[in-house]
Amino acid sequence: TPSIFQPSSNATQNQIQQLDHTQKPLQKPHPIDLNGFSWPSIGTEKRRSETAEEKQARLDKMSGAVRTLLECIGEDADREGLLKTPERYAKALMFFTKGYEESMNDVVNDALFDEDHEEMVIVRDIDIFSLCEHHLVPFCGKVSIGYIPNRRVLGLSKLARIAEMFSRRLQVQERLTKQIAVALNEILQPQGVAVVMEASHQCMVMRGVQKPGSKTITSFMLGQFRSDPKTREEFLSLVK
């Protein structure tokens, strides 16, 4: 399906980064490709297009891997409580990472509207749940998203759906925050975009430093939110 989004006029220039004088320019992936995928993984297309038989084969392979893990930690994978755990976990992991299969075409659909509105729009305290890509344990929290329209607005629920799509992948919080902001900027071409996220990471709570109650806060600003301190301050005060 062709993308409902068109690359911005300066996309080519922004995609090229010169590493040094001896290397060729590095072509960066566009935030949203011509199929509507936003930063797809290497297996996105295969996962999205596989048949029912292929999906079952994937689950069977994952279940076998989980059974191996259970045996490696010293458990009896054949005892009653664990008999169906490999299959359950395989299905759960596919749900936890369903964002790999979703395209921005499906998420946004037809919820782009021309509107004579140029004041700040904010949806705050959107719940997000993700998996840390370093330890495959959860981190969860809330994200607040704001933008200043340039006579084009997006259905409010779509902001939450964009956050959901990116969070349902293996992530780090810094990248997740940036991806939400950059994708929204590409969709709307607004006067500015701001994203602030606060989350608790189980890799810091259940293991490692073991500090319950610690929070990680990340932000990413574009346009007026980055260039105008008063605009940024207004946004931050509204999302507290």
Helix H segments across 97-152? Answer: 104-108
Q: Are 182 and 31 in contact (CB under 8 A)?
A: yes
Active-site choice (71, 134, 174, 233): 134
Owner of token pair 């189980």: 202
pLDDT in tens, the chain (240 residues): 445 555 554 443 443 343 344 444 445 567 888 778 898 888 999 999 999 999 999 999 999 999 999 999 999 999 999 999 999 999 999 999 999 999 999 999 889 999 999 999 999 999 999 999 999 999 999 999 999 999 999 999 999 999 999 999 999 999 999 999 999 999 999 999 999 999 999 988 888 888 888 899 999 999 999 999 999 999 999 999
H or E segment to which residue 198 belongs: strand 192-201
Active-site pick, 132, 179, 191, 224: 132
- Residue 71 among the catalytic residues: no
**Reported pTM:** 0.85
Beta strand extents in 72-179 (DSSP E only): 112-114, 121-132, 138-148, 152-154, 170-171
Choice among 101, 164, 171, 201 that is catalytic: 201
Only one residue has tokens 């990248």, namely 175
Any catalytic annotation for residue 133?
yes
CA distance 187 to 191: 12
